[in-house]
Amino acid sequence: MQTLSVIVPCYNEEAVIQEFYNRTKHVLTSLKDVDGYIIFINDGSKDNTKYILNLIASRDEKVKVLHFSRNFGHQPAVTAGMNNCTTDMAVIIDADLQDPPELIPDLIDTHRKEEASVVFCVRKKREGETFFKKLTAKLFYKTMNSLSEVEFPRDTGDFRLVDRKAIDAFNALKEKGKYIRGLISWIGFKQVPFYYNRDARFAGETKYPLKKMLTFAKTALLYFSKKPLMLSVSLGSLAFFIGIVYALWVWLGHLFGFTNVITGWSSTVIIIIFFGGVQLITIGVLGQYIGVLFDEVKSRPEYIIDEKINFEE
């Protein structure tokens, strides 16, 4: 009999966590040839999520809980689940029930039929999401695929099934600022899509406001592409070319009398602003990459676990 872990990052999910457990437990119980577990990762929740999870775990020994010492973020929470997963397979899913746990048997069937290490879920419809979020998500994947050396499946999240081979490969990666769906694409192996309709959030509020979405996009870009550095080189080359052309124009204008270099203050200021902008953009891009190196060199852990429940020592 195969074993399966359902990895569930949680942050302030008191309104939905009991319903998520009920539905997921029903699904796992219905599996005849798979022994299912649930790993909840409490990412420093400030509501009653911790106490609800403790109560669920006290009643069900197949529910495992990791409590973080503080809020470290969604990606470190998923990473902790992967690091502490010992089963043959794992399904990564959020607790908000936008991704239905009832699809887990279908993911397992697809995994077996296709003999795939990864089954990633592709959203055909995204209920309950604004036009702005859908548009920015589309632009994000388009930008990432144009800049990255690895092709990322579009309209996907972290909802996916991964087998033991993929889990071990992921756990061997030592970088701290993880973009998980990108890393799972990067490790390779056979990966196949599973198409589904995404529901609206069952209860509570989204944990990915605009600020977190921008931070997430920045992490994905900096960790998966060196092309922004080439963009800096291109902007510098363009600025240099414009400077040469402008210098020739001023010199020839002075020589043949079709311009007045004394009174051309506005054009001079424009050129200075342009060069200054290019320099600031270039320095900013370099600074971001240096910041990534700084975080990696410090080698701080991605997360700190305060308490483990129902884990074997």
List, for residues 117-159, the tens digit of each pLDDT value: 988 888 876 555 555 555 665 666 566 555 555 565 566 677 8
Residue 213 in domain: no
Number of domains in the chain: 2
* Residue with the larger pLDDT of the pair 175 and 25: 25
Residues 167 and 39 in one domain: yes
Same domain, 293 and 146: no
Q: Is 301 exposed, middle or buried (0-12, 13-18, 19+ CB in 10 A)?
A: exposed
| 94, 237: one domain | no
3-class DSSP state for residue 142? Answer: helix
**pLDDT score recorded for residue 52:** 92
Structural domain for 7, as ranges: 2-208+301-309
| Unique residue bearing structure tokens 């070319």 | 241
Q: Are residues 49 and 190 in the same domain?
A: yes
CATH number for the domain harbouring residue 190: 3.90.550.10
Name residues whose C-beta falls within 8 Å of residue 34's C-beta, 6 or more positions apart in sequence. Answer: 1, 2, 3, 4, 28, 89, 108
Same domain, 244 and 102: no
Residues 257 and 277 in one domain: yes
- Tokens coding 66: 């990791």
Residue 216 inside a domain? The answer is: no
282, 232 in Cβ contact below 8 A?
A: yes
Cα–chain center distance at 109: 26
CB 11 within 8 A of CB 207: yes
Based on the fold, state whether residues 159 and 266 are members of the same structural domain. Answer: no
Look at residue 19 in the predicted model and tell me its pLDDT: 92
Inside any domain, residue 217? no
Q: Are residues 237 and 107 in the same domain?
A: no
What is the structure's pLDDT at 223? 61
Q: How far is CA 152 from CA 25, 115, 141, in A?
A: 31, 20, 7
- 290 within some domain: yes
The tally of CA atoms less than 13 A away on the side-chain side of residue 207 is 19
Q: Are 49 and 11 in contact (CB under 8 A)?
A: yes
Q: HEC string of 253-268?
A: HHHHCCCCCCCCHHHH
Same domain membership, residue 251 and residue 185: no
Q: Do 249 and 206 meet the contact criterion of CB atoms below 8 Å apart?
A: no
Q: What pLDDT, in 10s, does the model give residues 252-306? A: 766 666 655 555 565 666 677 666 767 777 776 776 677 667 666 777 788 899 9
Q: Which tokens is 50 given?
A: 């911790």
Q: Is the pLDDT of residue 179 over 80?
A: no
Q: Is the pLDDT of residue 218 over 80?
A: no
Residue 136 and residue 18 in one domain: yes
Same domain, 182 and 251: no
Please tell me the predicted confidence (pLDDT) of residue 22. 92
Residue-wise pLDDT for 79-88, tens only, equals 999 999 999 9
Q: DSSP E strands: which ranges in the chain?
A: 2-10, 34-42, 63-68, 89-92, 118-126, 156-163, 191-198, 305-309
Residue 122: per-residue pLDDT: 83
165 and 279 assigned to the same domain:
no
